[in-house]
C-alpha cells in the first residue's frame, strides 16, 4: 500500500530523522489511541497521544502522553510554568495547531509551542505519534522526537 507523505514526514526528512510511516484502519466512532494501538498490534503505552493545553500564564503548550492515560492538569501546569491549565476546546484545535482531532502531531504545528513528553517514552526504542492525519502514525525513536520538537521530558501523569 502506497502511503502519501504528510507534512510531519517531510519535516522529519528535512531534519534527517529516521522514522517509519505506519497506516492503520480509522474508526470515526473511536479515534482513541487505545484503538490505534489495537490496530497497530502494539502496546498502548508505546502509542503516544498529543494534547494541547492552555495555561493561565504561558498560553498554549503541548503534552505528549501514553495513549490510555489522562494528563494530570496540576502536574502539567507546574512543569509548564502555570498556576493552572486546561485542555483547549475542540473547536480551537484546528485553528491553533493546523490539526484535527485524531490527527494531532507534536511535529509540525502551526507554531512551535512548549512541548512536554511523559518520561515513560524513554522506556522504548521506538514510540508512535500521529503523522498528522487520521489513519497514519509515525514510529520513531523518542530521543529523535524530543530533539525535533525540543520537548522537556517530565512526569505528566
pLDDT in tens, 98-137: 999 999 999 999 999 999 999 999 999 999 999 999 999 9
From 6-10, 15-19, 31-35, 50-54, the region with the lowest mean pLDDT: 31-35
- Residue 32: Cβ-neighbour burial (10 angstroms; 0-12, 13-18, 19+): middle
pLDDT of residue 131: 97
The chain-wide mean pLDDT, for the chain, equals 95
Instruction: Report the candidate in 63, 98, 89 with the shortest Cα–Cα distance to residue 77.
Output: 63
In degrees, rounded to 5, the angle at the alpha carbon of residue 87 between the alpha carbons of residues 26 and 115 is: 85
Q: Which residues of 43-70 are buried (b: 16+ CB within 10 A; e: fewer)?
A: ebbbbbbbbbbbbeeeebbbbbbbbebe
Q: How confident is the model at residue 55 (pLDDT cuts 50, 70, 90)?
A: very high
| pLDDT, mean of residues 143-151 | 98
Would the pLDDT of 2 be above 70?
no
User: What letters, b where the CB count within 10 A reaches 16 and e where it falls short, cover 77-96?
Assistant: bbbbebeebeebeeeebeeb
pTM here?
0.96
Regarding beta strands 85-87 and 48-55, do their DSSP bridges make them parallel or antiparallel, or are they unpaired? antiparallel
The H or E element that residue 22 is part of is strand 19-23
**pLDDT (tens digit per residue) in 66-85:** 999 999 999 999 999 999 99
Provide the 3-class DSSP secondary structure of residue 13: helix
Residues in contact with 47: Cβ distance below 8 Å, sequence separation at least 6, in sequence order: 33, 36, 37, 40, 66, 67, 127, 128, 137
Amino acid at each position: 500500500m502506497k502511503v502519501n507523505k504528510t507534512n510531519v514526514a517531510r519535516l522529519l526528512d528535512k531534519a534527517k530523522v529516521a522514522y517509519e510511516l505506519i497506516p492503520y484502519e480509522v474508526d470515526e466512532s473511536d479515534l482513541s489511541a487505545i484503538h490505534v494501538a489495537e490496530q497497530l498490534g502494539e502496546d498502548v503505552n508505546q502509542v503516544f497521544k498529543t494534547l494541547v493545553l492552555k495555561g493561565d500564564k504561558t498560553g498554549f503548550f503541548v503534552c505528549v502522553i501514553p495513549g490510555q492515560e489522562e494528563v494530570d492538569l496540576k502536574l502539567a501546569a507546574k512543569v509548564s510554568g502555570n498556576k493552572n491549565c486546561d485542555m483547549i476546546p475542540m473547536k480551537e484545535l484546528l485553528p491553533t495547531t493546523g490539526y484535527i482531532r485524531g490527527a494531532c502531531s507534536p511535529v509540525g504545528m502551526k507554531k512551535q509551542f512548549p512541548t512536554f513528553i511523559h518520561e515513560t517514552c524513554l522506556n522504548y526504542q521506538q514510540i508512535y505519534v500521529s503523522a498528522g492525519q487520521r489513519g497514519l502514525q509515525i514510529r520513531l525513536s523518542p530521543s529523535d522526537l524530543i530533539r525535533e520538537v525540543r520537548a522537556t521530558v517530565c512526569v505528566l501523569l
